[in-house]
Chain A
Amino acid sequence: MLKIENFTLSFENERFMLIDDILFTGGKRINLFADNSTGKTLLLRSIHGDFTKFEGSILIKEKPPLFYKKRKKTILIENHIHLLMNESVWKNITLPLENMSSRQKQKITDLCSIAELNEKIGTKVNKLPFSSQKFVELIRAVIQLPYLILIDDMDNFFDGKNLLKALEICEYALNSGSSLFATSKNKMEHFDITCRVQDKRVVIL
């Protein structure tokens, strides 16, 4: 699913993140934890295809991220909100879906009930708390069954009970072969693979 080889991020000739050779198969929950300014966000953006100034190679299903430029197969959930604030929860979740099947509609309802959003489906997202807004983004990502769901600083908005709910929501995509790659400041539980940045190098624990 995701293969990263000889990956290096540098700034003004100083290297700050190195990945020698990592291969993640589909349907896995991967957590990379590290302190601030270690390059976690840039790694996610590189996998997503938004950042290209890195050395080495990233392959998603044996294709570089730029191959998916027109039709993204990865969805990146960043720290800031990417929602239409004056639109309803439903409108935001269904925004990227061109033709929606009744199965998808039912699944959205199910996922919303896990996130306790089923009674707020018609509510404008600007009326929701921050963590609920992130749930909307997560459900929107999960329902599309991308190859990879990338979540930056996941522990910023999902912790404790909310983390369990978020992982339960992700289960739908994971069962279909998608992988979840989440970064955090601290190690998160319930993940299949945990990595950390140690002396600027990503190591699997």
Chain B
Amino acid sequence: MKKGIFFQIIILIILLATWNLLHIGYNHQKKVLEANISELPMLIFSTDVILLDSLAKELDDLSYIRNITIEADSIIAEKLISGYGLDNAKDILSSYRLPSLMNISFDGTAFQTPQKEELKKILTSSGYTELTINYDSDLWQLNRDKLKLLTKIFYGGNALILVLFLLISVFLRIHFEIKSNDFWQIFRSSGGNRKVRRKQFLLNSLWLCFVPLLLATGLYFAAMYFKYINIQIDYRLFGVEFAAIIISILMSRIFLGKNI
């Protein structure tokens, strides 16, 4: 294999690996932010445990709710006594009427603004006006804003890498083909068949099409297999990368025109 093609393959592997890394980084960061949302519980207090039960039944079907637990007032009292060593105050606590507690944890991926609005609507509906709700909406909003910004950066990064990929790969291909013009001129004048250059261009295109993509993809799967990373990326990315390589080859062929 000629040095030029080898060099192009190396550059394409670096570009494709960078592209894969962008997706890995995005998925990792997204996972962290969604985990932050999942770990943020909504606490609902009510003295009426039956009301909480009926609310739990209503919320149970919602896809963005991961888990609902209800703790009755007696259990809360027990927890307070054992947690804070209040054995002497047992009688005093039993004389108070403590509220029951509902703990809702969410699916960070699915719990977005429309879902939050839907939940708010349910909780403020006429049947549940007596509930006391404790939820850190500011922290939820902060995480959602970060997710939005991350998504914007991700799409911008993809577009940037795609443009850079096309520019670099097309430029390199044209550069090395023009650099070999002298060789082909001598080849032609020596009596060589004109088709040989076209055949060589096609062969080089096949090398550039499959080798960098297979190696960059193989690198990702090897890292997954040996557990260096544990982040699944969207496999459609490999299709997009393949399409980008094909486009770059076609663009190079068009720009080279009669040189080939």
How far does the Cβ of B224 sit from chain A's closest Cβ, in whole Å? 44
Taken together as a complex, chains A and B put the C-alpha atoms of A96 and B185 apart, in Å, by 11
Stretch at the interface among A57-65, A75-83, A161-169, A197-205: A75-83
A95 and B192 contact, CB distance less than 8 A: yes
Q: Which residues in A have some Cβ–Cβ distance to B below 8 Å?
A: 69-72, 75-76, 78, 82-84, 92, 95-96, 98, 137, 140-141, 144, 146
A72 and B196 contact, CB distance less than 8 A: no
B191 and A70 contact, CB distance less than 8 A: no
Contact with A along B174-189 (1 / 0, CB 8 A): 0000000001011111
A83 and B191 contact, CB distance less than 8 A: no
Contacts of A144 in B (CB 8 A): 191
Check if B195 is an interface residue, CB within 8 A of chain A: yes
How far does the Cβ of B201 sit from chain A's closest Cβ, in whole Å? 16
Task: Using CB atoms, name the residue of chain A closest to B193.
Answer: A71
Taken together as a complex, chains A and B put the C-alpha atoms of A130 and B194 apart, in Å, by 27
Check if B126 is an interface residue, CB within 8 A of chain A: no
Task: Using CB atoms, name the residue of chain A closest to B196.
Answer: A98
B193 and A140 contact, CB distance less than 8 A: no
**Among B189, B193, B194, B196, contact of A82 (Cβ-Cβ < 8 Å):** B189
| Interface of B, helix, strand, loop or mixed by DSSP | helix
B186 and A84 contact, CB distance less than 8 A: yes
Taken together as a complex, chains A and B put the C-alpha atoms of A168 and B194 apart, in Å, by 29
Taken together as a complex, chains A and B put the C-alpha atoms of A96 and B183 apart, in Å, by 11
13 contacts between A and B (CB under 8 A): A70-B194, A71-B193, A71-B195, A72-B191, A76-B189, A82-B185, A82-B186, A92-B190, A95-B186, A95-B187, A95-B190, A98-B193, A141-B191
How far does the Cβ of A131 sit from chain B's closest Cβ, in whole Å? 18
How far does the Cβ of B92 sit from chain A's closest Cβ, in whole Å? 99
Taken together as a complex, chains A and B put the C-alpha atoms of A100 and B193 apart, in Å, by 14
Q: Which residues in B have some Cβ–Cβ distance to A below 8 Å?
A: 183, 185-196
Contacts of A69 in B (CB 8 A): 194
How far does the Cβ of B105 sit from chain A's closest Cβ, in whole Å? 70
**Among A70, A72, A83, contact of B186 (Cβ-Cβ < 8 Å):** A83
How far does the Cβ of A135 sit from chain B's closest Cβ, in whole Å? 14
A75 and B191 contact, CB distance less than 8 A: yes
B195 and A70 contact, CB distance less than 8 A: yes
Q: Which of A76, A96, A144 has the most CB of B within 10 A?
A: A96
List the 7 closest A-B pairs by CB distance, nearest first.
Answer: A96-B192, A82-B189, A96-B191, A96-B190, A75-B191, A144-B191, A70-B194
Contacts of A72 in B (CB 8 A): 188, 191
Contacts of B189 in A (CB 8 A): 76, 78, 82
How far does the Cβ of A5 sit from chain B's closest Cβ, in whole Å? 26
How far does the Cβ of B4 sit from chain A's closest Cβ, in whole Å? 15
Contacts of A76 in B (CB 8 A): 189
Task: Using CB atoms, name the residue of chain A closest to B188.
Answer: A72
Contacts of A71 in B (CB 8 A): 193-195
How far does the Cβ of B99 sit from chain A's closest Cβ, in whole Å? 89
Q: Which of B186, B190, B193 has the most CB of A within 10 A?
A: B190
How far does the Cβ of B179 sit from chain A's closest Cβ, in whole Å? 14
Taken together as a complex, chains A and B put the C-alpha atoms of A90 and B239 apart, in Å, by 45
Given contacts A71-B195, A82-B190, 13 further A-B contacts (CB under 8 A): A70-B194, A70-B195, A71-B193, A71-B194, A75-B191, A82-B186, A82-B189, A83-B186, A96-B191, A96-B193, A98-B193, A140-B190, A146-B191
